[in-house]
Chains A and B, each alone.
Chain A
Amino acid sequence: MEFDKREQGNITIISLTGRLDLSNGGKLKEEIKSLLTSEKLYIHLNMNNVEFVNSSGLGALVSIMKEVRLQKGRLTLSDLADYVQEIFDITQLSHIFEIFATEKEALSSYEMVPSN
């Protein structure tokens, strides 16, 4: 899995490419952990190029979400392919995560929430 990282204001945007599974979930967790250590607490994951997610990948995202919330940060997701969205729906994780249709919509939502 590849991570393309950029910043917009106080939001770190990571575009993910590849599979999000057992082997890659750990790498993503490490990446986010290092952001949180650097006090980058607002994180958006663009999943447009994620070709596959399984339950291990979902587990990694749940772990990340819990850690971000623990640090009083915010995690958003966008651009999920239909089949990826389907897995979030089946597992009911779509109710737990903040999922937006597009990155633009996700980033706009940050403007409506006062930062800490």
Chain B
Amino acid sequence: MARRAGPRRARQQRIPWLILPLAAIAVAYVAVPFVALLQRAPWSDLGGLVGRSIVVDALRLSITSALAATGLAMLLGIPLAWVLARTRFPGRSLARALVTLPMVLPPVVGGAALLFAFGRRGLLGGPVYDSTGFLLPFSIWGVVAANTFVAMPFLVLTVESGLRAADPRYEDAAATLGASRSMIFRRITVPHAGPSIIAGAVLCWARALGEFGATVTFAGNLQGRTQTMPLAVFLALESDRDAAIALSLVLIAVSLAVLLPLRDRWLTV
């Protein structure tokens, strides 16, 4: 996601013959299920299905919790990406593997692991609950915690690769000119990694918005408190397929509204 010297020239390049059909298949592979979903959508009842309080509650909760999770992931993940990209310490590869673990772990298992760690009888959650009565599960904080756990790796990996691609000599030069370490981080490192931070944050937000398994396992499911859109969709699918499709369309529309303009922006930076 680093700045590219000549995006226009890249676009005019001659395309190797195998690339086109493969790219077309890739697009079709994503597009066909989407078209099939649209084809099954209950267009005539859409207004009534989408205006229900369950949809409004779930959408509000999804958007706020995904935003909060992205904020938390940026607060913790950007420093972590910097450490992984710029320092050497024993166990660094272990740390990197650990950070990507939530990407390969089935989210339901991740949610159960969170429960065992931060639940009422969890490793950390137990002592905290006993002394303060504070409980993460069954609250919006539990949703944010589950979203952050699952989505943060997308931000960390993206920012780390952006930092690796950036030329460290700018930072060295700034240091020789007397800039303090925190000043270099704020004025050189972060601006250089800017596109990758935006890309990572968007990936993270999108992943958090669609999060289902870890959320339902760790935070539970209660309308207005912990029920996000994916949970509402899943449950609607049990009893009312039309409502489930209508809910999915709302989720897709919201994510497209955010992703399309952002994607164009970060690709043309």
- A joins B in a complex: no
Chain A contacts to B: CB under 8 angstroms: none
Which B positions have Cβ atoms within 8 angstroms of A?
A: none
